[in-house]
Structure 1
Amino acid sequence: MSASLGGLKVSVEYLQRDNEAKTTEIELLKEQYQVQVAKLRMLEQQYQDKFTAQAEELTSVKARANNTELQLEWLRTEGKEKRVAFSASLLASGSGNIGPFNTQRPLVFRNVVANIGNAYNPNTGFFIAPVRGAYHFEFYLYGGGHASHPTAAVLVKNGNPVFIAYEHQPSYVVNPSKAVTLLLEIGDVVLLHQWENSRIYDSDNHHTTFSGHLLFTM
């Protein structure tokens, strides 16, 4: 009986040790499983982050492409709507001298050969800026030499003189000219004033001219 109890005790102890070993193994397997689950979740998160980043990048690229397309369309429209250029000579017909006068007087260039955008008025001689931008103007004068009268005109912006073209000699032909680039606001007025006591000549050959055009908007 005593021997049987001893054998049973040994068997129980063996089973306990085996159970403890299996429990330890199970715990180890649980830990390994948890590590694998953590790795899997990390990979899933990395994939999700990468996918999200790619999706955001794709959205950003699409947005930039759409914005570029809108800018191109705006530039195409802007270019069509903001084309401004004119060129005119002084006399509509005939020939002769203008002046001299005691004071400065506006010069009205009536023979218009181009007036794109209709910013120049051949009835008043006024160029009125339709958009804010940089504009380039040129004017060429013609006159016969005279002892008392020069050939001269001044470009005026909003009533203020900017550049003058002036030449005076007692004989032969004079041909003063000038060019200028101006930043104009919408509604600014540019025109030429004939200089006081001067004479300016024009004919059907269109010697005396005034031209301008929009370089770019701002």
Structure 2
Amino acid sequence: MENAGVFLLLLLMPSLHSAEETPIACPPDTSTVLRELSVALAEQKVKLGQLQAENQVQAGELLTLKASSTITENKVEALTQARTVSQVAFSAALVESGEQTLGPHDAETTIVYKHVASNIGNAYNPQTGFFIAPVRGVYHFEIYTLTHGGSTAESYLKKNGVGIFMAHESQSSGHGTAGNAVTLLLEQRDVVQVTLPAKCQLYDNTHHHNTFSGHLLFTM
């Protein structure tokens, strides 16, 4: 019996030894998994922040480029406009053809100079007799007047309806001539016109004795 027991024990020993050498798998630690996930999430947040920062920089650069482009376009437009409005000059006479006697009238009237020799910038209107300043600046104007038959030669240059300078000549017979000139600071849309005072008379023909001229000296 003792020999049989020993023999049985010898048979079981390899199985016991094998069981001791085989490792048993353990489930992962939950805290370890959470820690790894937290690290991965933090890395992703850092990368996302970097991408957002790069996008903001690119967006800022784009806005800067757009603003610079707009400023350049505005400068080009302003320079083009300034060059255009700085070219202002006109000269006009009373009649286009034949001869004409203007006046006398019971009230002061605007003289409409219909024969336009030049009108650079189109600031003078031959339909109304008004010169309208297209830009703020210093302008120079000249007026010349002729009458005959012993009448008074007289014309009145006005700014926005207010008299500035008058051309006047009075003589008992023959033709009378008068002239005057003035330099004015005008605001944009200021109106300059020449009027014929009441009871006065002008005479003109194809030689264009009655004239109204002006030009822009420089902008302000």
Matched, 1:187 2:214: no
Misfit runs of 4+, over 3 Å: 73-77
* Secondary structure in structure 2 of the residue aligned to 1:78: helix
Give the equivalent residue in structure 1 for 2:128.
124
Query: What is the CA–CA distance in structure 1 between the aligned matches of 2:82 and 2:119, rounded to whole Å?
Result: 18
Aligned residue number for residue 83 of structure 2: 79
Q: Secondary structure at the match of 1:172?
A: coil
The answer on 1:133 being equivalent to 2:137 is: yes
Deviation at 1:80, TM superposition (A): 3.9
Match of 2:167 in 1: 165
One-letter code aligned to 2:128: T
Query: Pairwise CA RMSD of aligned residues?
Result: 2.1
Q: Which residue of 1 aligns with 2:158?
A: 156
Corresponding residue for 1:176?
Answer: 178
Counterpart for residue 109 of structure 2: 105
Quote the residue 1:10 is aligned against: none
Shift of 1:143: 1.1
- The structure number with the bigger radius of gyration is 2
Distance in 2, matches of 1:201 and 1:101, equals 14
- Deviation string 1:73-92 (CA, Å, 9 cap, x unpaired) is 97686334421000000011
Change (3 A) 1:190 1:77: closer
Deviation of the 1:94 alpha carbon: 1.4
Cα offset, 1:96, TM superposition: 2.3
Shift of 1:144: 1.2
| Deviations, residues 161-210 of structure 1 (Å, cap 9, x unaligned) | 11111111111221100000000000000000001111111101111111
Q: 2:115 and 2:182 mapped to 1: Cα distance?
A: 22
Paired position in structure 1 for 2:216: 214
Q: Deviations over 1:42-91 (max 9, x none)?
A: xxxxxxxxxxxxxxxxxxxxxxxxxxxxx9x9768633442100000001
After superposition, give the CA deviation of every residue in 1:9-50 in whole Å (9 maximum; x if it has no partner): xxxxxxxxxxxxxxxxxxxxxxxxxxxxxxxxxxxxxxxxxx
- Segments of structure 2 that go 5 or more residues without pairing to the other structure are 1-74
Is the Cα contact below 8 Å between 1:145 and 1:169 reproduced in 2? no
Q: Indicate conservation of the 8 Å contact 2:148/2:173, yes or no.
A: yes
The question of whether the paired residues in 1 share the 8 Å contact of 2:132 and 2:191 is answered with: yes
Pairs aligned (count):
147
TM-score by length of 1: 0.63
Is the 1:145–1:168 Cα contact (8 Å) retained in structure 2? Answer: no
Residue 193 of structure 2 aligns to a residue whose secondary structure is strand
SS of the residue corresponding to residue 141 of structure 2 reads strand
User: Percent identity of the aligned residues?
Assistant: 49
